[in-house]
Amino acid sequence: MKIDENLIDEHFMREAILEARYAEREDEVPIGAVIVYRGEIIARAHNQREQLKDPTAHAEMIAITQAAASMVSWRLEECTLYVTLEPCPMCAGAIVQARVPRVVYGASDPKAGAVETLFNLLNDSRLNHVCETKGGVLAQECAGMLSEFFQRKRRMGKK
């Protein structure tokens, strides 16, 4: 019996969406990430920039740190990163450095997307590592969460 990769990707993206909901409850930009190794989630995180007062506290960065601790290695070979928004240049750089072989994301990011939208860092053959990428998984749900969050912020007069 063949396993449907699309169903697997949707399953784990829903887990990333749950993480994004945690961020939203904490008044953080609702972005979530999970890292999967051999079918099991080994890391889960959400944006915590406001809470930690740390500009690097993106969901992907926190998840990569957790996964490296779980794997007892900085090399995240055989892992897949699922994230609700296309990674930015900082996160894409960390993904390359961690040797993550596969990245699946939900919504594209027209302002900072470094996978396909503005830059193509994960597939740049000049770098020492190239990732397989897949975008648009549950994109409407991921984008909708972000749109609602920022609309609510604007109504409240916040940035």
Tell me the H-state helices in the chain.
Answer: 5-25, 49-52, 59-71, 89-97, 139-155
The residues near 7 (Cβ < 8 Å, ≥ 6 apart) are: none
The residues near 93 (Cβ < 8 Å, ≥ 6 apart) are: 121
Query: Of these residues, 19, 24, 60, 86, which one is catalytic?
Result: 60
Q: What is the C-alpha to C-alpha distance for residues 70 and 156, in angstroms, rounded to an integer?
A: 40
Q: What is the C-alpha to C-alpha distance for residues 14 and 34, in angstroms, rounded to an integer?
A: 10
Q: What is the C-alpha to C-alpha distance for residues 95 and 147, in angstroms, rounded to an integer?
A: 26
60 carries an active-site annotation: yes
The catalytic residues are 60
